[in-house]
């Protein structure tokens, strides 16, 4: 069963602006799924429709096997979510805010509330700041508290919209470790982000959104495989090195001052190295660079990932 499934999901705002256009999405259960795209590409709008917070213009949404929004009463208690940052009372402490959020859950037992709050704060590293007022929290601490709120109860699905926003490197590593831990426990984690390099480290699957449309989806390794690895040679003899690679059959050879690169093809790397040395090229370095998700995005869309949709 899919944790999230959409069919021709579309959202058109007043004035005719299309935020999400005919989106077909399939998020397998048990995966860490990256929902990727530049700021403004429609990621948050999609999440809001999936969770029943806004109505789609057209299309269908299924969440944990139930149609949305019709199945929200049985489905949403199994889902934890952090969307566009947490909204908390600034004059209350972190723990007091979690108490009120937990009390709003009609399915949560009051007698175990304290234990749930302690566990959630510990998981996000906020135990020492539990009695600090929310208005004194840094942006990163507020993000952590939002994640803690989403984890007050065991969840089958966790939806995180830009979860590392405002976090320092240590906080980012802790969130990354937490996501891996949750996935190991069987929770499906859906992570929306514009930071490809960050998501690439934790996701098993990904979908790439550009201007409201799905341009690619599937396993991360398969997406990267859509772009060829590149052979990169560092040498002061760039001109001769480029000519040698072209004679060997390498295409699209790019020459810079002290490097030459080309997509890896049928020619073996060790054969290329031997030919370069035989041609008198002073090889200072020779590596095969694997493509990143950002490389795949640029190849698929023809635009940089910092372009707003």
Q: pLDDT of 199-224, one tens digit each?
A: 778 889 988 888 888 988 888 887 77
- Residue 160 pairs in a beta bridge with 82, 191
- 160 lies in the same domain as 264: no
Print the domain residue range for 274.
Answer: 230-290
Mark whether 238 and 180 lie in a shared domain.
no
Sign of the C-alpha dihedral computed for residues 214, 1, 199 and 159 taken in this order = positive
- At 305, the pLDDT band (50, 70, 90 cuts) reads low
What b/e string do you get for 61-83 counting C-beta neighbours within 10 Å, with b at 16 or more?
bbbbebebbebbeebbebbbbbb
Q: Are 262 and 251 in contact (CB under 8 A)?
A: yes
- Identify whether residues 166 and 50 lie together within a single domain: yes
Same domain, 14 and 145: yes
Number of domains in the chain: 2
Q: What is the DSSP letter of 194?
A: S
User: Would residue 124 count as lying in a domain?
Assistant: yes
235 and 218 belong to one structural domain: no
DSSP secondary structure letter of residue 52: T
Per-residue tokens: 168: 């320092």
The rounded percent of the chain whose pLDDT value lies above 70 is 95
Residue 296, in any domain of the structure: no
Question: Are 14 and 53 found together in one domain?
Answer: yes
The domain that contains 41 carries what CATH number? 3.40.50.300
Give the best-scoring range by mean pLDDT among 81-95, 234-248, 253-267, 293-307.
234-248
Tell whether 93 and 121 lie within a shared domain. Answer: yes
Identify whether 37 is part of a domain.
yes
Smallest CA-to-CA distance from 293 within 198, 219, 196 is with 196
The confidence band for 309, taking pLDDT boundaries of 50, 70 and 90, is very low
Contact 240, 205 (CB under 8 A): no
- Return left, alpha or beta for 258; rule: phi > 0 is left, psi -120 to 50 is alpha, else beta: alpha
* Distance separating alpha carbons of residues 248 and 269, to the nearest angstrom: 11
Asked if the structure places residue 16 within a domain, the reply is yes
Stretch among 127-131, 172-176, 237-241, 302-306 having the lowest mean pLDDT: 302-306
Q: Are residues 196 and 264 in the same domain?
A: no
pLDDT tens digit string along 177-204?
888 888 888 899 999 887 777 777 888 9
CATH number, domain with residue 239: 3.30.70.100
CB-based contacts of 194, cutoff 8 Å, min separation 6: 36, 37, 38, 39, 43, 162, 305
Residues 240 and 242: their CA atoms lie apart, in Å, by: 5
SS3 151: coil
Q: Is 305 within the bounds of a domain?
A: no
End residue of a domain, out of 179, 205, 225:
225
Q: Does 265 share its domain with 126?
A: no
Residues 214, 142: one domain?
yes
pTM: 0.78
User: What integer is the mean pLDDT of 109-121?
Assistant: 93
**Are residues 150 and 190 both part of a single domain?**
yes
Please state which of the ranges 81-85, 181-185, 217-221, 298-302 shows the lowest mean pLDDT. Answer: 298-302
Residue 213 lies in a domain: yes
Lookup: tokens for 24: 């077909």
| Residue 298 within a domain | no
Shared domain for 203 and 128, answered yes or no, is yes
pLDDT of 300 = 65
């Amino acid at each position: 069963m899919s944790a999230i499934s959409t069919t021709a999901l579309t959202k058109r705002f007043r004035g005719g602006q299309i935020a999400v256009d005919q989106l077909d999405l399939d998020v397998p259960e048990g995966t860490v799924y990256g929902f990727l795209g530049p700021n403004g590409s429609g990621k948050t709008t999609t999440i809001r429709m999936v969770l029943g917070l806004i109505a789609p213009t057209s299309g269908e949404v299924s969440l944990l096997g139930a149609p949305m929004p019709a199945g929200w009463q049985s489905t949403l208690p199994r889902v934890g979510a952090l969307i566009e940052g947490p909204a908390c009372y600034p004059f209350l402490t972190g723990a007091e805010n979690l108490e009120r959020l937990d009390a709003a859950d009609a399915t949560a037992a009051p007698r175990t509330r304290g234990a749930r709050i302690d566990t959630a704060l510990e998981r996000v590293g906020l135990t020492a700041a539990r009695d600090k007022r929310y208005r004194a929290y840094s942006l990163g601490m507020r993000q952590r508290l939002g994640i803690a709120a989403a984890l007050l109860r065991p969840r089958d699905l966790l939806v995180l919209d830009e979860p590392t926003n405002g976090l320092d490197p240590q906080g980012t590593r802790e969130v990354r470790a937490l996501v891996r831990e949750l996935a190991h426990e069987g929770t499906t984690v859906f992570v929306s982000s514009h930071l490809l390099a960050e998501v690439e480290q934790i996701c098993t699957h990904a979908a790439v959104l550009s201007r409201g449309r799905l341009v690619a989806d599937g396993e991360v390794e398969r997406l990267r495989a859509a772009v060829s690895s590149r052979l990169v040679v560092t040498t002061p003899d760039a001109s001769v090195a480029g000519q040698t690679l072209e004679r060997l059959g390498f295409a699209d050879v790019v020459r810079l001052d002290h490097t030459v690169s080309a997509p890896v093809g049928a020619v073996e790397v060790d054969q290329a190295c031997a030919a370069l040395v035989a041609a008198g090229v002073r090889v200072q370095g020779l590596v095969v660079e694997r493509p990143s998700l950002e490389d795949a995005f640029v190849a698929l869309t023809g635009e940089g990932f910092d372009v707003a949709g």
